[in-house]
Amino acid sequence: MKEMTNKVNVFKNKSKFSKSIYQKCKNIFNNYGYILTSSYEHDAILNLVIGGDGTFLNAVHQSEFSDIPFIGINTGHLGFYQEVETNMIESFIRSFDQKDYRVENLSVLESHLAGKKINSINEVVIKSNRNQIVRLKVFIDGNFIEYYSGDGLIISTPHGSTAYNLSAGGSILHQSLNGFQLTPIAPIYSNMNKALRSPVVLPNDATIDISISKRDNFHTVFIFDGREYSAKDYKIRINVSDTKIKKLILNRNHYWNNIKNKLM
């Protein structure tokens, strides 16, 4: 039995089911010599997330993109980030205690907007907060690519590619790939607008610069993992950050099982 010094940070949603799962986890973790804490501790050895994908994203942001490994228990709906189902809790804790897992690094998007740096793990969305089109100039690595008109643009990580990006017609990028994706949302294509109509997959070292038309600036919003920002700025720069999110993987087939069981 370990001394009671091994801390596990817990992030959970407010549902009664999640609270009951938390209590179950607490009892089993305690039996293995771990302490669960609901206040974020920088010396913890694990970030445990109880909820769905939204709870996982909130945990990453609340912890300020912690370098402590994350793992999720799914008490939500889709649970694409959540590795552990509620009937697997005891076996998960046993595997964790025995270090029977691997660590996967998830890429993070870094955006520079109005003098601020904003990170996101899923995607950055640029769109109107009204029923209007947005007009955007898109540059990749300093090269002008298009004058885009349409509902907006999505810039997504490989693990974010199965979220809003997929619904907008983007491709699924395997989480092991070093790259990110630019996907148009309902682009307008005509003699006046030669916008790209398909997603573009970019390498990790690429940089996207997007300028917003001045007439659209007042109704254009920037959404980072569901968090909406409005800024009186006409430009945003997006690239892959050096920051990585560590996620525990217990089952090497978890990714493809998710694709098959949750997206098909």
CA distance 202 to 224: 19
Tell whether residue 36 is among the known ligand binding residues.
no
Tell whether residue 151 is among the known ligand binding residues.
yes
Tell whether residue 186 is among the known ligand binding residues.
yes
**CA-closest candidate to residue 67, choices 97, 112, 108:** 108
Tell whether residue 173 is among the known ligand binding residues.
no
Tell whether residue 53 is among the known ligand binding residues.
yes
Tell whether residue 167 is among the known ligand binding residues.
yes
100 as an active site residue: the answer is no
Tell whether residue 166 is among the known ligand binding residues.
yes
Tell whether residue 253 is among the known ligand binding residues.
no
Tell whether residue 165 is among the known ligand binding residues.
yes
CA distance 239 to 125: 14
Rg (CA), the chain: 20
Tell whether residue 57 is among the known ligand binding residues.
no
Tell whether residue 114 is among the known ligand binding residues.
no
From the candidates 53, 67, 100, 242, which is the catalytic residue? 53
Query: Catalytic residue numbers?
Result: 53
- List, as residue ranges, the binding site for NAD(+): 53-54, 122-123, 151, 162-167, 186
- List, as residue ranges, the binding site: 53-54, 122-123, 151, 162-167, 186
